[in-house]
Amino acid sequence: MQNPIHWIRNYYHQVVAELKKCTWPGRQELIESTMVVIVSVIFLSLFVTAIDWICTKLIRLLTMV
């Protein structure tokens, strides 16, 4: 059985080594990605709202309430 402290230290060093290999987005790329996410969420919420409204109208029409 390996010493837990040694295991944690080894794990930490491996994580740091992997993070150094990562490429992080620049400011412009981050802004563009954020805008894509915001616009996508807005379109998806409008789509779900429209489908909900249509289904509500259809159910009321079919049940005559």
CA distances to 7, 9, 15, 51 from 19, rounded to whole Å, are 18, 15, 6, 43
Q: Is the pTM of this model over 0.85?
A: no
Written as one letter, the residue type at 23 is T
Question: What is the pLDDT, as a whole number, of residue 42?
Answer: 98
> How would you write the pLDDT of the chain (65 residues) with one tens digit per residue?
678 889 999 999 999 999 999 998 999 999 999 999 999 999 999 999 999 999 999 999 999 86
Report d(CA 11, CA 6) in Å as an integer.
8
